[in-house]
Structure 1
């Protein structure tokens, strides 16, 4: 029995103890909560003391330890748990008379409080709180990850798989603006360069104002087809060309249904016999995919946290992230605020790449968070708020105004850099200048700021100049991403709240509200296909309109009777319209400071033009003007820029110009002149104008002369040299030599630091350009574009070797030219040439109609920056300047006929194999290149 009692005692004692302890939780719930509150208050006091110690250490350049940070995090967790207990605990839980109703609640509270009390007491005794800080020198860490270019993008892989599937003809890529749809399309384009799966790749941009005609024009240019004004006839031409071809059409930024058959794209799509027909489109709306009968849809999402961080890190740079211990965590907060939008990550990352003070990052985070206060449910608007951060970070209000002004051009419009800079001058965004070159330099600086901030993107386009009808010129251009453009217009409307009529931008439409002429400050109707302005319902006293842009309306031939009521106008752009006479309504706008009527066929200027006494910029390029009334120019006392370049080569002002050229001396503020002088009499007259700074100059028909010297003519004047940006020699049939002279020590006392464009045109007797006492690199330090056209006797242009900044070379219709660089080299000299003689910046070589051309240059010469080379109608050309080891890494295309390509000779067969992916067959008489 005693044994039995002992066994019972051993078994039941722990059970009784456990039951007693559990019952105690119910009866002592209040005591446990009170003890917990007291202990937790001591813990909070201790936490405050620890944080003070940490802050003191950080002020002395130290950083907190991981141990103390974890201790602080655990203390914060206990506070959350205590708050949960107190929320459930009420005085009635202590009432024994109501125990039967609340015992379960008391038990839970009592037990939870007791357990938490033990955790609090553990933290009170934890030694981690004493190790608050350590020296700030970080330990060695592995290199931060940077994303690499590959086809690992799942969307790219999926799209490529769909393209290869026979049954899939139409693929739709959709997602919000700025998410990377266009970038994905460009990756697809790059993937299929040189791929024999398709005969042609067609990359066209639709945009919001897309029409069948605009799409056709892009396709015609890409495929080099015959142009036709009738849409149906143009569709037939495109269809007949593509119906027996394999093609991949990349259609970017579609906003509405587009009937591809109306454009000329053959159906059905997919695999038709032996031909592949594929279309990949991008759009912001999945509804457009349905309207376009898309077979496969791919949604492009914002980046996940890891990918967003990697992209942001790539743009910010490892050096900035490591510049301070706190920046890494702050940068992650910035990334979190940007919500994975690639465009925002890139723009903000680049804006922060030089910010190495944590305070700057905290300020950035505060700006991003504040923008959320104005956020609306539309996701597009949240994008504006985040993108506006980069706008806010621009260094000046002037730069911000420069950015906003770009929104006045149509969507997806590529703006010539020169055109944009001249706009900024006219709007007063480029301040007063002593030299015209200073103004353009400042404009290029502003563009540089905006492109580096990813607010503008740069490119180049090829245009056929009016003067050089057989040649083409590379024009640097910029454009604004459509999301950024929408954001800019949103900003001009006070972020969508007020002043919605402040800036009015119309797309392919005319304003219906006649009151806009009295409400708006700026209006643009560029390329809107208007034939007449809508009625102007305003009076001179009510007009607020200061800026009106009507460029590109070829059918616009008159301005209307009430146009003179817009008396507040200071900026008026009527370039590329259809005016056949100077619109005299302009002459009453006495506040006008900027007037552009370029590319309008107007024979004369009216006498009334002299009333525009405040006019500072008069741009009349390519207008065909050959009548200027005497005294008109002299009245324009405020003129700073007068551009009449490329007019007189068309018509003749030989005697008349001698009369009005004298009037230029009355214009004391004239800092930039564009002029074409014909004949010796005009040239001599121009020489006498010592106070006139020439910016754009053409010289032609210099009779009775066998040579022309830059240094001994008026071009030797310092003022001319410092500002001259464009120079053209043309149609001087008896000129045998252009002599460029310097002193004997090859250190000229004069140079052309602003000259970027040099054209030599129809110099039929020109055999050689002589350099006496000076090398080209000492004279033409900034020359970027060289055009040599219709120079029948010229055999080479070897001197281009010495042009340090040459980017584009065009040689056309030079019947005697055998090689660009007449330079013979022995084997032992090749190593020296490769290391010392290169074209450091040459990107584009365009050669056409050179019947005697046998080589471009020796393959020992390096072309490290070469992007594109085109050879058209050069039947004797046998060698390209490439060999193993010197193929340019940036090469994009080699364009020629199939006959020329097959007839080329190679030093090594591996060179042909390496170049084959870049070759593009062209079978037209004269190639219009599209890089």
Structure 2
């Protein structure tokens, strides 16, 4: 180029200088110029090709963009309809099909891309819009495909093979009092600030029933939990046994040969991987370490346990819910639901039926058992006899269901002094309850509280025993500084006292109790001596 420039300016220089530019040089310069011009031509040709492939005259592009908006609105309406159908049909053990999930993802992507393309078209110049014509066309075609794809029939849901949970059998009739407790537990489960819930109350009051109802409610409705696990805890608590039961409920195997810490780690990992869970532990008799078992404590995991002792719930750091006995109206309604509402047609039986329900003292298990026994019975004499039997020994009607639980609560008191104090309560026959102060003074005066240096210390000890009996649901605090023993508990205490009647003919319950414990000690010493002799 410099030589070409030099040649162009040669006529300004003396002839001697321009003489240096011979014909060969001129030819070389010309060829170089032609080569460069060819390169420029090729570049221009390529640019024109690109324009030809990607640019179209933007005729009607505004109308096409409006069509995009309309199709986008139709697509979102279709998506909302599919979501409504899913919401009405989604149940536990079901999940949204992969095809529907991909459809939702595509709709979400289009909702992000449409506004961007519309904005580009509205802000570009006439020439620049020509490059967007093809994009508008392609997006319209993709929207048409999505609208066609969204015409799902009934294949929105498929079976979820990874689901864990089981609907449990519950009574057909649920009274308002139990429904209220169920709703309270569900509210706690929905509260991220509550991880552990403890439901306690005496045997037969409906603890297991209410948590079964909660379990089924979570399974039958769309909840925030990934798995629901139900475990019935053995009375003789064992970390290994509990770990094994939890694992079995989740369809996984944990070998008992593993170290306890390793088993806990495996269970912890499994529960954590499952995500948000609810673990129901029915029938917990003593507190234990969640870490030792392998139950994770985090906002996504919930623990619901039932116990007969408030102390267990307190040891487990639970939000405590006490199951109270049914109020009179609910008790009567539950009785009618199970005995049959046509009982109302037999006016001669109604007064006796009312007395029977009153004798059941608000325990759902007893009410249902007695009602089912009397269902279809229309003989006045049979109803009168049933009332007499209930008054003499209500425990005989529900011995298999309740007695073992009550007796286990008594045996777990362990301290013979507390057991003696409990058994004496069976000798009080006051419907309004026993004054706490009177009961404590009776214990002290009858020598049931060990001498402890001062009366104040003995009073404190007696207060602690009274609290233990109340928290283990062997006595009921009825307010006004009074406690009461449920009729079932009285019958259970009498059965225990009758164990010693073979050895003592005294009518005094206190003397019977003392002889009973002396006899138990004698048996124990006899066994020890026999072992030493052998």
**Structure-2-length-normalised TM-score:** 0.43
* Structure possessing the higher relative contact order (Cα contacts under 8 Å, 6 or more residues apart): 2
Larger % of strand: which?
1
Higher percent of residues as helix: 2
Structure with bigger gyration radius: 2
Q: Normalized against structure 1, the TM-score is what? A: 0.26
